[in-house]
Chains A and B, each alone.
Chain A
Amino acid sequence: MLLTLAVFIPLVGAAVVALWPRQDERGFKVAALITTAIPLAISIWMATAFQPGAGMQFVERAAWVPSLGINYILGVDGISFPMVFLTALLTFLACLASWHISPRPKDYFALLLLLETGMMGVFCALDYVLFYVFWELVLVPMYFLIGIWGGPRREYAAIKFFIYTLLGSVVMLVGILAMYFAGAQALGHPTFDMMELQQVKFPFRFQLWVFAALYLGFAVKVPIFPFHTWLPDAHVEAPTAVSVLLAGILLKMGTYGFMRVSLPTFPEAASYFSYAIAVLGVINMIYGAFVAMSQADLKKLVAYSSVSHMGYVMLGIASGTPMALSGAIFQMFSHGMITGMLFLLVGMIYDRAHTREIAKLSGLYTALPTYAIILAFASFASLGLPGLSGFVAELLVLLGSFPVYRTLVIIGAATIVITAGYMLWMMQRVLMGKSRPELEALPDVTGRELATVIPLIVLIAVLGLYPRLLLDFTNPALVQLAARVGGM
C-alpha cells in the first residue's frame, strides 16, 4: 500500500490543484508542497524499514488485465529504492523552488505533480505494461512544462524532446511485445511480469534484437551519444525546477532501465554489446566534458556536464562488476543531487541578473557571498572533490571497470582532469574577478532558496564521507545482478 500511495498521492494532488480556485495562489501552492512532502515522508519511512538483502520489497500485486497477463505490480529493491527516494526529494525541492513561477502557476503545479506520479511509477513498476504506461506518462507533463514555461526556444526544445523520446519508447514497446510472446511460449502462460520474464532463458539471437530495441528506448533517455542532442535544448529552455527533474530523475530512467530490464533479462546480449556500450560511455564522458568547457552559457555548461557524468554510469553498467555497478548507482544518485543543485543555482542567478552568460557574470564572491560559496560547493562536488559524493561514485566506477576495460578506463580517467578544468575555469570567471556594479545591487540568497539547497548540501557531504549509507542499500542487489550478467 505504501508504494501505491507514494505513486498516486501526487496524482490526487494534481487533481486537487487543478480544481482549486485560480485566484487563491497561496492555497494551491501550499497544497502542492504538502502533496510532494507525503511521498518524501513515505520514502524516508521506507528507508528505515528497508532490508537490503531481501530482494524485492513492499511488493503489491493486483490483477489488471489477467487475460493478457498484465498485472499491477509495484515493488522496490536496492536498485530502485534510491531512485524512489531521490524522486521524492527532488520533486519536493523542485516544488519549493518554483514558488514564484508565472504565468499560470496553477497549471504548472498540477503538471509537476502529474510528472511525479509518472517518475515514481517508472521506478516502482514491475510489470512491463505498467512500466511503459508510467514511462510515457512522464512525457506529457514534461512537454507542457518545457513548452509553456520554458525559455525563448521552448517550443522547439519541447517538441524535440517529445519526438525523440516517443520514437525511442515505441520501439521499446515492440521489443517488450516480442519478449512477451517469446516468454509466453517458454513459460506456458502469457505474462508481462518483469521478474518472471527474467527467469526465461531467451535464445541468443532473439536477445540481441530485443536488447537493441530496448537500447533505443533507454539510450535516448540517458542520453547516450549520438542520441544526446535533445538534452542541451531541453535543459537550457526548461524552467529551473524542471531542469532539476529532467537532469536529476529523467536521465536516470534510462540507466535504470538498463539495470532493471536489459542486464538481468538479456545477460548474453548485454555482455555481447558491453564493449560497444563502454566505448559509448567513454565518448559521453570525454565529449560531454569538452563541449561543456566550450560553453558560454552557464546552464548549457551544466547540461553538458550531465552528458559527461552519465557516461560514467554507462561505463559502470557495461563493466558489470559489483563495484562498477555500485559506482553506477552511486553516480545516478549523486549526480541527481549535484546537478539538481547546480541547476537550482543557475536559476537563482538568472532570476536576479536575468542572464546566464558566463562573460557577463564576475566577482560574485564580493557581490553575493553566500550564493558564491554554495555555487563553489556544488562545482567542487561536480568535479569530484574527495570527501563529497561525486568522488566516491566516480572512483567506484573507474576502479570497478579497470579490471575489465583497462585502456578505456585510462582514457576515460582523463575526464576527471577535463571536468576539473571547466568547473574551475567557470568558477574563476564567475566568482573571482572584478565585481560588477549591476551585480552588487542584487539581493543574496533568500531563506526559501537556502531551504532548497541545504538538504542537498548535507546529503552530498554525508554520502561523500560515509558512502556506506547508500552502498549498504544497493550492494546485495548489485552482487546478484553482477552474478547474472556473468560476473565479468
Chain B
Amino acid sequence: MAWAALAPELILTAASLVLLVVVTAARPPVPAGAVPAAMPAAAPAAAGRWETAWGGATAAIFAVALLALLPGLGTRVDLWGGMLSLDPFAALFRGVFLATGLLVALVSIDFLRQRAPARGEYWPLLLWGVLGMMLMASSRDLLMIYLGLELVSLCSYVLAGYLKDDARSVEAAIKYFLTGAVASAVLLFGISLLYGAAGSTSLDAIARAVSGPVSAGGAPAGAASAGTVAPGGTAAGVLGYAALAFLVVGFGFKVAAAPLHMWAPDAYEGAPTPITAFFSVGPKAAAFAALLRVFFAGLGDLRPAWTTAFAVLAVLSMFVGNLSALPQKNIKRMMAYSAIAHAGYILVGLAVGTPMGSRAVAYYLLAYLFANLGAFAVIVAVSARADGGAAGGAPGEQIEDYTGLARRQPLLAWAMVIYFLSLIGIPPTAGFFGKFYLFSAAVEQGQVWLALVIVVNSVISVGYYYGVVRQMFLVLEPPARAPAAGERVCPAVSAVVLATAILTVVIGLGFEYFLGWAGTATAVLP
C-alpha cells in the first residue's frame, strides 16, 4: 500500500537510472578532432536525433509518473515516521513539479539539438532534480527536506554549467554553486540548532519543543523550570529563534529573495535557457513548499517573529526585483529580476501567516508557474531562430531581438502577452486572481500596507514587461532584418506555449476550483 503511494518517485528513480545507462552506452562517438558543440549550425542531424529520442523518453517518464500520482490523490500516507508524508499538500506540489519537469523537457529538446547535441546527461539530471523537489515537498522531517534540497541543488549546479563551452554558462554554474553551498551550510546550521532544541529533526517534535509549555511531553526541552513560560521563552524557544534566523536566510537564498538574491541574475542569464525556466519555477516552488511546511508546521508558535522577517524580505524583494528589472536589456536577466519580485509577492502570503496566507501562496505558485514557464518557452523559441547572434550577447536573448515578433510569430507574441498580463496581475488571467487573493489575505489580516506595496509594485512591473510587448508589437522591424526563410518553431515548444497560455487563463477563470486545490493542500498545515 505504502509503496503504491510512492509510485511516482519510484518510477522516476528507476527510469532515470535506466536512462543514464542508455545515454552513456548509446551515445554516438564524438568524432576525433572537431568538436561541434560550439557551432550550433554544424550540429550533425544524426546527433540531434539522439537528443530527440532521449528528451521524448524523459517527457514520457514525467507523464507516466504524473499518471501514477492520480490514484493516490486524496489519501494520506505517512512513511517512516513522517520522513515521507504523502498528504494532499505533497500531492499538489508533486503534481506541479512533475508537470514542470514535463514542460521543461519538451522545451529542452530543440534547444539541446542545437546547442549541445548527443551528450545526454542532461536528461537524468533533470529527472533527479524533479525527484529532489518532490522529496522536499513531501517530508515532515528536516533531514529529508535538506536531502531533497541538496539533490535539487547539485543537479541545478551541473545543469547551469551544462554548456561547458560557453563561458557564461560556466560562470553561472560556479556562482550558483558557491552561493548555493553557503546557503546550504547556513540552512544546515539552522537545522542543527533545531535538532539541538528538540532532539529530533521531525517537524512535529520541533513544534512541540518550541511551543514552550514544559508539560508538552516527549520533547526533551531543556529548561523545564517555570510553569508559565511564554511560547518561545524556554531554552528550546531561544534556540528556536536563533535557528529561525538561519532558516530564513537559508531559504531566502534558495527562493532568491532580496537581499539574498545576488546570485540569481547571473545564474539565470548564463544557464541554458530551458534550465533558467526550470530554476525560475522548480527549485523556487520547492523551496516555498518546504518553507510552508517548516514554518507553519514546525515553527508555528514563533509566528510573530517569522512573519515580520518575511514581511521585510517580501517588501525588499518586490522593490529590488521590479526596480532592477526596469533597465535590463537581456530578457533572461529581466526575467530573473521579475522572478525575484514574484518571490516577494509570494512571501507576502508567508508574512501574513494565516491559513488564507498559505492558501494564497499555493495558488499563486500555481498561477506563476505556468505563466513563467510559458514565457521561457517563448524565449527558447526566439533564441532558437536567431542563429549567429547579435554582437556582445547570446543569440536572441536581447529584448531588441523581439522586434516584430507579432508579425513573424503571432502565436508566440500573443501568448507572451497573456503570460505578461498574468505576471502583472491583470484579469482574467491566473496572476490577477493570485494577486487578488494575496491582497485579500493581507487586507483580512489588517495589513493593508502590504496590499498597497503589491499594488504599487504591480504598476512598476508594467514598465519592463511593456518594454518587451512594445518591441513585439509596436516597433517596426528594420527591413534589413527581414524574417529568415524557413523559420520554424519546434512543435514541442509550440505545444508548451499553447498549453501554458490556455492554463494561465483557465487557472484564472476556474479560480474556485484551483483555489479548492490550494485549500485542500494547505489544510494539512496547522
Shortest CB–CB separation between residue B493 and chain A, in angstroms?
Answer: 21
Which residue of A104, A129, A155 is within 8 Å of B470 (Cβ)?
A155
Q: Is the CB of A64 within 8 A of B439?
A: no
Chain A 160-186 per-residue mask, 1 if CB under 8 angstroms from chain B, else 0: 001100110011011001101100000
Name A's interface SS.
helix
Q: How far is the CB of B320 from chain A (nearest CB, A)?
A: 20
Tell which of B48-56, B373-381, B425-433 binds the partner. Answer: B425-433
* Interfacial chain B residues near A65, Cβ < 8 Å: 511-512, 515
Contacts of B432 in A (CB 8 A): 133, 136
A148 interfacial contact with B, CB 8 Å:
yes
- Would you call B440 an interface residue if the criterion is a C-beta within 8 Å of the partner chain's C-beta atoms? yes
A171 to B448, CA, bound (A): 12
Is A67 part of the binding interface, using a Cβ–Cβ cutoff of 8 Å? yes
Query: If A140-B426, A170-B459, A173-B436 touch, does A178 touch B448 (CB 8 Å cutoff)?
Result: yes
Q: For chain A, residues 106 to 140, give those with C-beta under 8 angstroms from any C-beta of chain B.
A: 107, 129, 132-133, 136-137, 139-140
Q: Residues of A contacting B448 with CB < 8 Å?
A: 174, 178
Q: In the assembly, what is the distance between CA of A177 and CA of B443, in Å?
A: 7
Interface size on A, residues (CB 8 A): 35
Contacts A132-B427, A137-B428, A155-B470; A177 near B439 (Cβ below 8 A): yes
B residues 358-404 near A (Cβ < 8 Å) are none
Is A66 in contact with chain B by the CB < 8 A criterion?
Answer: yes
Q: Is the CB of A66 within 8 A of B512?
A: yes
Question: A136 and B427: CB pair below 8 A?
Answer: yes
Closest residue of chain A to B421 (Cβ to Cβ) is A140
**B407, B444, B455, B474: the one within 8 Å of A154 (CB):** B474
Does any Cβ of A come within 8 Å of B458's Cβ?
yes
Q: Map CB proximity to A onto B413-432 as digits: 1 under 8 Å, 0 otherwise.
A: 00001000100001110001
Is B249 among interface residues, defined by CB-CB distance under 8 A? no
Q: Does A159 reach chain B (CB closer than 8 Å)? A: yes
Please determine whether B443 and A181 come into contact, CB atoms closer than 8 angstroms. Answer: yes
A163 (CB) vs chain B CBs: closest residue: B462
List residues of A (166-222) whose CB comes within 8 Å of B's CBs.
166-167, 170-171, 173-174, 177-178, 180-181
Give, as a whole number of angstroms, the nearest-CB distance from A120 to chain B: 15
Asked if A162 contacts B462 (CB within 8 A), the reply is yes
Contacts of B462 in A (CB 8 A): 162-163, 166
Count of A-B contacts judged by CB separation below 8 Å: 77
Q: Which chain A residues border B421 with CB–CB below 8 Å?
A: 140
Q: Does B451 contact A (CB under 8 A)?
A: yes
Complex Cα distance A154/B473, Å? 12
Q: How far is the CA of A140 from the CA of B462 in the complex (A)?
A: 12
Question: B residues within 8 A CB of A129?
Answer: 436
A104, A139, A173 — most chain B CB neighbours (10 Å): A173
Check A147 for interface membership: any CB of B closer than 8 A: yes
Chain B residues within 8 Å of A171, by CB: 455
Q: Which residue of B lies closest to A154 (CB)?
A: B474
Asked whether, in the complex, the Cβ of A162 is within 8 Å of the Cβ of B439, the reply is no
On chain B, the residues within 8 Å of A63 by CB distance are 512
CB neighbours (8 Å) of A154 from chain B are: 474
**B interface majority secondary structure:** helix
CA distance A220 to B309 in the complex (A): 37
CB-CB under 8 A from B470, the residues of chain A are 147, 155, 159
Q: Mark B458-478, 1 if CB is under 8 A from A, else 0.
A: 110010001000100110000
Do B443 and A147 have beta carbons less than 8 Å apart? no
Chain A, residue nearest B513 (CB): A65
Interface centre among B407, B432, B436 (most CB of A within 10 A): B436
A-facing mask of B496-522, CB < 8 A → 1, else 0? 000000000000000110011001000
Bound: A148/B444 CA distance, A: 41
Given A65-B515, A137-B428, A177-B440, residue A147 in contact with residue B474 (CB < 8 A): yes
> Is B452 interfacial (CB-CB < 8 Å)?
yes
Instruction: Check B427–A133 contact: CB distance below 8 A.
Output: yes
Which residues from chain B contact A163 at a C-beta distance below 8 Å? 459, 462
Distance in angstroms between the alpha carbons of A279 and B459 in the assembled complex: 30
A144 at the interface (CB under 8 A from B): yes
Q: B428 — which chain A residues lie within 8 A by C-beta?
A: 133, 137
Q: How many residues of chain B get a CB closer than 8 Å to chain A's CBs?
A: 30
Q: How far is the CA of A154 from the CA of B417 in the complex (A)?
A: 19
* B511 / chain A contacts, CB cutoff of 8 Å: 64-65, 70
Indicate if the CB atoms of B455 and A139 lie closer than 8 Å. no
Nearest CB in chain A to that of B475: its residue: A155
- A contact residues around B452 at 8 Å (CB): 174
Q: Are A139 and B426 in contact (CB under 8 A)?
A: yes
How far apart sit A170 and B438, CA to CA, in the bound complex (Å)? 13
User: Given A133-B427, A136-B432, A173-B436, are A144 and B473 neighbors across the interface (CB < 8 Å)?
Assistant: yes
Q: CA A449 – CA B80 in complex, angstroms? A: 78
Q: A137-B427, A155-B474 are in contact. Are A166 and B443 (CB under 8 A)?
A: no
Q: Which residues of B contact A174 (CB under 8 A)?
A: 439, 443, 448, 451-452, 455
Q: How far is the CB of B438 from chain A (nearest CB, A)?
A: 11
Q: How far is the CA of A104 from the CA of B474 in the complex (A)?
A: 12
Contacts of A144 in B (CB 8 A): 473
**Which residues of B have CB within 8 Å of A155?**
470, 474
Interface string of A50-93 (1 = CB under 8 A from B): 00000000000001111110100000000000000000000000
Contacts of A147 in B (CB 8 A): 470, 473-474
Contact between chains at A177 and B426 (CB < 8 Å):
no
Contact B473 A173 (CB under 8 A): no
In the bound complex, residues from chain B placing their C-beta under 8 Å from that of A167 are 459
A67 to B473, CA, bound (A): 39
Q: Who on chain B is nearest to A178 by CB? A: B443
A68 to B466, CA, bound (A): 32
Give the shortest distance, in Å, between B413 (CB) and chain A (any CB): 10
CB distance from A191 to the nearest CB of B (A): 13
1/0 per position for B101-131, CB-CB distance to A under 8 A? Answer: 0000000000000000000000000000000
> Which single member of A67, A133, A162, A177 contacts B451 (CB below 8 Å)?
A177
B451: chain A residues within 8 A (beta carbon): 174, 177
Q: Tell me the nearest residue of chain B to A134, going by C-beta.
A: B427
Which residues of B lie under 8 Å from residue A177 when comparing CB positions?
439-440, 443, 451
Smallest Cβ distance from B423 to chain A, in angstroms? 14
User: How far apart are the CA atoms of A70 and B509 in the complex, in Å?
Assistant: 12
Inter-subunit contact B473/A159 (CB<8 Å): no
Known: A140-B426, A181-B444. A173 touches B439 (CB 8 A): yes
**What is the bound-complex CA distance between A64 and B514, given in angstroms?**
12
A148 to B417, CA, bound (A): 14
Chain B residues with Cβ below 8 Å from A139 are 426
- A137 to B505, alpha carbons, bound, how many Å? 13
Docked Cα-Cα span, A210 to B458, in Å, equals 20
Query: Contact mask A424-448 → B, CB, 8 Å, 1/0?
Result: 0000000000000000000000000
What are 9 A-B pairs with beta-carbon distances under 8 A?
Answer: A65-B512, A65-B515, A67-B512, A68-B515, A70-B511, A147-B473, A167-B459, A177-B439, A177-B440
The 7 closest A-B pairs by CB, nearest first: A133-B427, A65-B512, A170-B455, A177-B443, A136-B427, A147-B474, A65-B511
Interface on B for A, CB 8 Å cutoff?
406-407, 410, 417, 421, 426-428, 432, 436, 439-440, 443-444, 448, 451-452, 455, 458-459, 462, 466, 470, 473-474, 511-512, 515-516, 519
Known: A166-B458, A173-B436, A173-B455. 12 other contacts (CB 8 A): A63-B512, A64-B511, A66-B512, A136-B427, A140-B417, A140-B426, A147-B473, A159-B466, A162-B466, A163-B459, A163-B462, A170-B455
